[in-house]
Amino acid sequence: MANHSQLNFQDASSPIMEELMGFHDHALMVALAICSLVLYILTLMLTEKLSSNTVDAQAIELVWTILPAMVLITLALPSLRILYMMDEINEPDLTLKAIGHQWYWTYEYTDLKNLTFDSYMTPTTDLPLGHFRLLEVDHRVVVPMSSTVRVIVTADDVLHSWAVPTLGVKTDAIPGRLNQTSFLANRPGVYYGQCSEICGANHSFMPIVVEATPLANFESWSSSHPS
């Protein structure tokens, strides 16, 4: 989860999120270079006391056409690389369905047994000490770590969005449509997210909690969890 007043990304817990953070650093570096260039030239122009009656300047026009094109290519290539990486065929070990409702999520694990449960936010009045306000749920999504998990996201009523920032996942839940995403949790842990598409009065109160555990623990959890 994010700390209070956090502006940057949460630590990455999946390989895709690590790539996205690297790309963000790259894009921000390019943006910083351009902004500092513009600021320098702006300051220069504002302190300029000489005048000019130049009417054409072919050389500089060529430069300020070619250079931005090169900048765009520098941004596009890593972006497309990650886009295609996210869409690679990866043969997931587990498929999980996430169905958005007003205002809770339903999760279905139907690979081996018919395991379905709803996940409601824990109200603040019922929150145990040390738990996170507006982020905890009554039933978490337990997944095996270091395994590719496919999530099929849809909604029952209005638009929702299933997002877990630390895993680099955000997928819209659209009624009548199945959207697919996948992730791989590098480490065991508890990962928080929140509904990311406005869906009514309690849009801010339908969080997502993914719990990644070793495979053995996941198997014992799923076999002990009532269907």
Partner 1 sequence: MRGLLARRMKFHLLGAFLVSMGCAALYKFGVAEPRKQAYENFYRNYDPMKDFEAMKAAGVLESAPPN
Footprint of partner 1 (CB under 8 A): 12, 18, 21-22, 25-26, 28-30, 32-34, 36-37, 40-41, 44, 48, 50-52, 139-140, 142, 145-146, 186-190, 211, 213-214, 217-218, 221
- Measured distance CA(109)–CA(212) in Å, rounded: 15
In 3D space, the residue among 75, 79, 76, 90 whose CA is nearest the CA of residue 14 turns out to be 90
Which amino acid, 83? Answer: L
- Measured distance CA(205)–CA(226) in Å, rounded: 26
Choice between 50 and 89, CB closer to partner 1:
50
Choice between 148 and 213, CB closer to partner 1:
213
Contact between 169 and 20 (Cβ < 8 Å): no
Choice between 53 and 125, CB closer to partner 1:
53
Closest distance to partner 1 from the beta carbon of 59 (Å): 10
Q: What's the sign of the alpha-carbon dihedral 141, 159, 84, 1?
A: negative
- Measured distance CA(225)–CA(115) in Å, rounded: 8
- Measured distance CA(167)–CA(184) in Å, rounded: 8
Closest distance to partner 1 from the beta carbon of 133 (Å): 16
Closest distance to partner 1 from the beta carbon of 140 (Å): 5
- Measured distance CA(81)–CA(77) in Å, rounded: 6
Choice between 64 and 88, CB closer to partner 1:
64
Closest distance to partner 1 from the beta carbon of 161 (Å): 23
Closest distance to partner 1 from the beta carbon of 64 (Å): 10
Neighbouring C-alpha atoms within 13 Å toward the C-beta of 82: 16
Choice between 93 and 197, CB closer to partner 1:
93
